[in-house]
Amino acid sequence: MTIELGHFALILAFAIASVSALVGLTLWRRSDSRAALYLQQAAILQFLLIAAAFAALIQAFVTSDFSLLLAFQHSHSDQPLIYRITAVWGNHEGSMLLWVLILVAMGAAVAAFGRNLPRDLLTLVLAFQSLLAAAFSGFTIFTSNPFARLAPAPFEGRDLNPILQDIGLAIHPPLLYIGYVGFSVCFSFALAALISGRIDAAWARWVRPWTLLSWTFLTLGIAMGSYWAYYELGWGGWWFWDPVENASFMPWLAGTALLHSALVMEKRNALKIWTIFLAIITFSLSLLGTFLVRSGILTSVHTFASDPTRGLVILALLACFIGAAFVLFALRAGSLRAGGLFAPVSREGALILNNLLLATATAAVLVGTLYPLLLDALTGRTISVGAPFFELTFGAIMAPLLVILPFGPFLAWKRGDFVAVAQRLALAAGLALFVAILFFALSGASVSLAPLGLLLGFWVAFGALADIADRARLFRADMGTSLRRLFGLPRTAWATAIAHFGIGVTVIGIVSTSAWESELVTAMQPGANATVAGYTIQFDGIDRTEGQNFSGERGTFTITSPGGGMRTAHPERRTYSASGMPTTEAAIETYGLSQLYLQLGEPGDAGTSVVRIWHKPYITLIWLGTLLMACAGFLSLSYRRLRIGAPKPSSARQEAAV
């Protein structure tokens, strides 16, 4: 019964969203507030209904109701409670519903927080959100219905893919989807601005919190996914340039560009056309990602053929939304007035360079991801575009971006003084050079590009510190004044510095772990010793282990660190009882910022086991840096003056409207 109620709620939400879209798009020009009020209420209602539908699914999974086809296919009554819940979105239909849930949650948030928006803009934004909600809830209902029943109900389900039975599935998809789908608000704002003609600094201000929110969650989602892949996949890689990873990385790159160009639009009323374009592109890339992942075109071209409806419907939706957006853009972009003037060397100039490089990086990833598909479709030739290609092209574009990054926050708006900025950054540059050389000399390696990468990482990190120090007049004023200035700095200044510092930290992590990683693959007898990067690893033996829904073998290793400390590590090899699927669970020991990664392999002859051991120097910096970026995003979001929108004309305008 709950399942039917959930199904009904989903259909009702689809109907309400369709009506909302129609009402909003036809009546936005009306001067009375009824249309806006209706759309606000409808947005909140859509959210409540989809949430109810989602709750019905969760209930069926938690109680292991296998009369629900989806629960039968992707769950098992032996699974721990948390994995019965996460199994809801560990499949196509359920994750589509999660996608829609977050979409309508964003719509409801706009309705709830958008009261101080001009009424016509609010109506249009909600209308476009509703249109998206109608399209994607319709897609879910008609091609991927999660509420399909099975009669007679089987006794037991088929189990969730064991590799997905991990806390990562609880965290990674929701975070990523909030980021992905959050950009829909920017998209709706862009279309609303194009139709209503409200394209000005105030618009940039209204969009800013949504861009920040989406970007922050996308950052967390990607980082979390990367760490999950790192510890779960068991070969120690953390980024694979997999097409599906690229699908989430492209909106992030475009979103980062949007975050910066919106700044120029907000402060200087310039780059308006470009910012609107980026807002459209960013969400289009999110949609493209959804298409690539959901259609199955990437997993295998044949998946597409076996169920062409889903892929084709998403492709059609994609074409409609993106196509319509660009037509609208082409029609209206010409009517935009040029904004504020600025010299090439200025904050605006630096941000334009940032956007140029980020946009090129996005395009490089896009071309690399789609080219093999297109070439195959057009000529039948199959080629691979993998990590080596992306590392080369993406790296070549990122390096200049990292070089110019520290200059940006130092340059003044309108007209900057390059020489003065260079002088103020000289200390940071010198320090970066010194530390990079020191680091390199101490670690002693022969990888040619590593010192350059380290230098860039330290340069960006120290540049961010220099920015804060400069703003606080550290070492130039007395300590008291400096401290007072430090605490008096606006949160956005801190957020900028912390995010940029985070990028530096991530770069340092990436460079050091790829340059100085050590690896050992060996067959070990119980009692044998191995040495990697100064750590002595003793293999104590293997015993059986039993979990709630798996059994397996657990190795015991004693690690002696160079400092003399002893630790015990337990990598495992599991077999999940329901599916019979084997997995490996690596043991990861963190020493300071570095990690030792142990993986237990196949048993060999005479009681030996294959063991793979990696020492990954400073690898945690990769994720610490992304966490810093996300913290900066939240810090900036918490800055009240920028959170909701323009400085509070709301009450006056609303009263005036009554």
Partner 1 sequence: MRQLLLAALLAIAAATTALAVNPDEILADPALEARARAISANLRCLVCQNQSIDDSDAELARDLRIIVRERLTAGDSDAAAMQHVVDRYGEFVLLNPVVATHTIVLWVAAPVILLVGGIVVLLGARRRSRRVEPAGPIALSEEEVKALEELEGRKG
Determine if 161 is a binding residue for partner 1 (CB under 8 A): yes
Q: Can you list the alpha helix ranges (DSSP code H) found in 380-519?
A: 387-404, 407-410, 418-443, 450-471, 479-488, 491-516
Stretch that binds partner 1, among 40-48, 62-70, 174-182, 463-471 (CB under 8 A): 174-182
Q: Which of 144, 214, 393, 636 binds partner 1 (CB under 8 A)?
A: 393
Residue with tokens 């003084």: 417
Instruction: Pick the stretch among 176-184, 310-318, 417-425, 531-539 that binds partner 1 (CB under 8 A).
Output: 176-184
CB of 569 to partner 1, least distance (A): 17
**Which residues, at least 6 apart from 228, have a Cβ–Cβ distance to it below 8 Å?**
166, 168, 172
626 lies in the site for partner 1, by CB under 8 A: no
> Residue 460 in contact with residue 500, Cβ under 8 Å?
yes
Residue given tokens 């088929």 in the structure block: 158
Using the contact rule CB under 8 A, the part of the chain among 43-51, 184-192, 233-241, 498-506 near partner 1 is 233-241
The Cα–Cα gap between 474 and 398 comes to 31
Q: Supply 144's token pair.
A: 């991927």
Q: Of the two residues 496 and 599, which places its CB atom closer to partner 1 in the complex?
A: 599
566-569/550-560 β-pairing: antiparallel
Residue whose CB is less far from partner 1, 90 or 138? 90
Q: Is 145 in the site for partner 1 (CB under 8 A)?
A: no
Asked if residues 575 and 550 have their Cβ atoms less than 8 Å apart, the reply is yes
With 0-12 / 13-18 / 19 or more C-beta atoms within 10 angstroms meaning exposed / middle / buried, residue 648 is: exposed
Strands 587-591 and 594-603: antiparallel
Contact pick of 338, 420, 422, 426 for partner 1 (by CB under 8 A): 338
Residue 377 binds partner 1, judged by CB under 8 A: no
Minimal distance in Å, beta carbon 588 to partner 1?
Answer: 17
239, 95, 242, 114: which is closest to 180 by C-alpha? 95
In angstroms and rounded to an integer, the radius of gyration of the C-alpha atoms of the chain is 27
Residue 302 touches partner 1, criterion: CB under 8 A: no
| Least distance from partner 1 to the Cβ atom of residue 182, Å | 13
Q: Name residues contacting partner 1, limited to 536-595 (CB under 8 A).
A: 573, 581-584
- Using the rule CB under 8 A, give the single segment among 126-134, 159-167, 304-312, 318-326 that binds partner 1: 159-167
Q: Nearest distance from residue 206's CB to partner 1, in Å?
A: 16
Residue whose CB is less far from partner 1, 467 or 572: 572
Tell whether residue 32 is a contact of partner 1 (CB under 8 A).
Answer: no
- Is residue 404 a contact point for partner 1 (CB under 8 A)? no
Residue type, 203: W
Among 105, 133, 247, 401, binds partner 1 (CB under 8 A): 247
Closest approach, Cβ 417 to partner 1, in A, equals 17
359 binds partner 1 (CB under 8 A): yes
When binding is defined by CB under 8 A, the residue of 408, 601, 617, 633 that contacts partner 1 is 601
Q: What is the per-residue DSSP string for 38-97? A: HHHHHHHHHHHHHHHHHHHHHHHHHTT-TTBHHHHHH--TTS-HHHHHHGGGSSHHHHHH
Q: Which of 75, 95, 214, 595 binds partner 1 (CB under 8 A)?
A: 95
Task: Round to whole Å and give the CA distance between 352 and 257.
Answer: 9
Q: Which of 458, 467, 432 is nearest to 618 (CA)?
A: 458
Q: Taking Cα atoms as reference points, which of 495, 453, 488, 492 lies closest to residue 472?
A: 488
- Using the rule CB under 8 A, is 112 a contact of partner 1? no
Residues 456-515 that bind partner 1 (CB under 8 A): none
Packing angle, helices 491-516 and 450-471, rounded to 10: 160
Contact 171, 98 (CB under 8 A): no
Work out whether 652 is an interface residue with partner 1 (CB under 8 A): yes
Binder of partner 1 out of 235, 476, 477, 592 (CB under 8 A) = 235
Instruction: Give the interface size with partner 1 as a residue count (CB under 8 A).
Output: 86
Here the tokens at position 634 are 């939240």
Any idea which residue has 């009306």 for tokens?
A: 30
280 and 330 Cβ atoms separated by less than 8 Å? no
Decide if 321 contacts 390 (C-beta within 8 A). no
Stretch that binds partner 1, among 132-140, 482-490, 602-610, 623-631 (CB under 8 A): 602-610
Structure tokens at 517: 């990683």
Residues of this chain, 265-284, that bind partner 1 according to CB under 8 A: none
Please report whether residue 521 would count as binding partner 1 according to CB under 8 A. yes
CA–CA dist 465, 406 (Å, integer): 10
Q: Find how far residue 621's CA is from the centre of its chain.
A: 18
Cβ 374 to partner 1, closest distance in Å?
A: 9
Q: With respect to partner 1, which residue has the nearer C-beta, 527 or 582?
A: 582
Residue 647 touches partner 1, criterion: CB under 8 A: no
In the chain, DSSP finds a helix count (H) and a strand count (E) of: 22, 10
Instruction: Give the dihedral of Cα atoms 298, 299, 303, 305; nearest 10 deg.
Output: 30
Q: Does residue 610 bind partner 1 (CB under 8 A)? A: yes
Shortest distance in whole angstroms from residue 564 CB to partner 1: 29
Residues 150, 145: Cα–Cα separation, whole Å = 13
Query: Which of 5, 19, 163, 412 lies at the binding interface for partner 1 (CB under 8 A)?
Result: 163
With respect to partner 1, which residue has the nearer C-beta, 197 or 430?
A: 197
**8 A C-beta contact, residue 559 and residue 536:** yes
The reply to whether 323 sits near partner 1 by the rule CB under 8 A is no
Stretch binding partner 1 (CB under 8 A), from 12-20, 155-163, 472-480, 538-546: 155-163
Bridge partners (DSSP) listed for residue 506: none
CB of residue 485 to partner 1, shortest distance in Å: 31
Between 352 and 569, whose beta carbon lies closer to partner 1? 352
Q: Let me know: does 9 contact 56? Beta carbons within 8 Å.
A: yes
Contacts of partner 1 in 187-226 (CB under 8 A): 221, 225
Q: Any contact of residue 373 with partner 1 (CB under 8 A)?
A: no
Cβ nearer to partner 1, comparing 400 with 486: 400
Distance of alpha carbon 398 from alpha carbon 364, whole angstroms: 11
Q: Which window, 7-15, 149-157, 232-240, 424-432, contacts partner 1 (CB under 8 A)?
A: 232-240
CA angle, corner 170, sides to 167 and 174, nearest 5?
A: 145
Among 168, 453, 504, 645, binds partner 1 (CB under 8 A): 168
Q: Is 245 in the site for partner 1 (CB under 8 A)?
A: yes
Decide: is 389 part of the binding site for partner 1 (CB under 8 A).
Answer: yes
357 binds partner 1 (CB under 8 A): yes
- Name the DSSP letter for residue 163: G
Nearer to partner 1 among residue 7 and residue 205 (C-beta): 205
Does 82 help bind partner 1 (rule: CB under 8 A)?
Answer: no
Residue 350 amino acid letter: A
